[in-house]
Structure 1
């Protein structure tokens, strides 16, 4: 099985949909769809999964994913005050590949790895994105085309190592989704490789090869990235000490936690907290 397929309510009569999602948390599983998607996070924070990328998300973030890129947003399990996002989904091929749109199609190609815009640029288009929620038909089509042209002039960075410009690789499976869910529920404990291997009915050696091939990194690198991303959220959203956060993230040694934190952030936990609080 592949990541969960999501059927988007678009057809020959409607090629773009713009909507606001609001709720207590983002419930969409790790999924993909044949439409492009632009997501602006109005409220919430947590961890995002874009292709083989895992990293934090926060309010004011704008992400563009091309057709068939698996993605999902997981809310912070510690601080949960509700969530809200503006989402635009559109069918491929609705805009002509003319020279004037070259920068847009270059951006969409980059979005085969998922792309993240700077928060400054995202804030520039926030009002325009809100306007889309009130439009239909030709007005929505033309207004969104203008937004895409504007976005194509902004800076952005690619997120996933693996590109999803073609059909999803057949080796992607529901096993990765199970691993995501397991890590989310057990990151605060010591996780053994055998637990994950048993979860997806594989030997430890086979699971290690499988995970490294699909996610582009060893499992324990992925796990430490997840833990450190959670630690970063705790440093910003709680008044816990570094020692408390260390153990809350499943680390048994404060010095080892410090080394891992500096490895992934180039900062010590204390310095990171001071920098974020300025």
Structure 2
């Protein structure tokens, strides 16, 4: 499955968001321009950044730079706080830093994993993350000001107390563990690629297991353990996401949408779609597609009006 660009739902005037994620399901390889902070509040978390597998323990923090490809393997009974922010959040200090000052370099050059930090620095960052998440959740009056203040405080801790990257650092895990994690992700990538190639046709678990060279029993256990869902549930979700994209971007009969997304019949498509979203695919299409079309027409009209104003003022 190809790596995808994630577009976090952040306000362009306040490019920040926080959330809590469970570890029950796989999160596919993706990237975004925002910096991401992961704080494990419960259990163990297995993830990968730029092809390097990482295992995090409860109480640990990991920074992920904008542009870094990362994924999360299923890590049952784990929980993490996630903070994502654009560096534009700190645009005021960029001007104060003087020539050669780069926030991006600061985040790139810092030590990204908290086990390599001084204990006092880790404690400060945890306290800031908890305060930031609480403010964002409760959203009391003035919460955005306090979040921004805490983020600037976090920036100061990084500048003063968190060490730089240490090159040629000893790996956190044995070579056997790293190899096993890479093999797991490579297997999943092969499965995802097969689904991407054949999702419009009938696909059975036995067929994919045979393609991978596994018994159906072993394949079932492997897939569920590392993605947090059954293969059938994954396939249905994949097809539903394809259908949503078609419904959002194209004006087609429901029979054509069902066929293009790989559902065997309109009835099956309707059942799975309504069960997953709470509304019928036709209603989803009418609501989303028409709103999207109206918005694009409005933007186009605004652009035409702007062009006319330019020509009038220039002529």
TM-score by length of 1: 0.50
Q: Which has the higher helix share?
A: 2
| Structure number with higher strand proportion | 1
The two structures have a TM-score, normalised by structure 2, of: 0.44
